[in-house]
Amino acid sequence: MAIDPDRIDVAVAIMTRAPTPGATKTRLIPRLGADGAADLHRHLIRHALQVVAEARLGPVTLWCAPDAADPFLADIASVFDVATRAQPVGDLGARIRAAFADDCPLLLMGTDAPVIDAPLLRACAEGLHDHDAVFLPAEDGGYALVGLRRPAPELFESMVWSVDTVMAETRRRLRARGLTFSEPAVVWDIDRPADVDRLIASGLLPDWRPSLA
């Protein structure tokens, strides 16, 4: 097998859910309908896998909820030749800890921030050469990517999720433990109906056409 001289040996874990109408992207249903929201989610998953492939990182694992049996997730994993794992039961912190216990150094990301491109992913991977952690904070106060050089489960235990103080609390925990970290960029994600307009204007998903409810 030929060696890719530009490959960075930092693993990538992508967390996502099966694109089931009515059970995924539910906050977008008023704008896109159940089928339209699920269709957007499928395009976001494909986009994330494509970006990771272009970044030439790996190995790559798709962490699936509720499991990897969904036909779309199984097919897309095969297309991009990535491994699949079922997300464990528990809150977001438990699922994050499981991913980092599985492999390190590792970048862990979701599929909701299509503004994350291949150069930014490579910058995050390279950031782990000089720092214990790397984050891409989200505009809503959370984060869209976390990278760790080694596991640090205490960063994610007993965290209150889905609030605008997640990143601030994470910084506090990092500093309290003497861990160095970098934040190469602040990104936005697709979470609310208003974000659909921003996505359309961005042109980040040129193959996606919104199906309005």
The CATH number of the domain holding residue 177 is 3.90.550.10
212 located within any domain: no
Check residue 1 and give its pLDDT: 44
pLDDT in tens, 156-200: 999 999 999 999 999 999 999 999 999 999 999 999 999 999 999
CB 69 within 8 A of CB 62: no
3 located within any domain: no
207 located within any domain: no
Number of domains in the chain: 1
Asked if pLDDT for residue 3 goes beyond 70, the answer is no
- DSSP letter for 87, please: P
pTM: 0.94
Check residue 191 and give its pLDDT: 93
Calpha distance 19→124 (Å, rounded): 27
Check residue 146 and give its pLDDT: 98
Structural domain of 166: 11-202
114 located within any domain: yes
4 located within any domain: no
190 located within any domain: yes
196 located within any domain: yes
pLDDT in tens, 58-113: 899 999 999 999 999 999 999 999 999 999 999 999 999 999 998 899 999 999 99
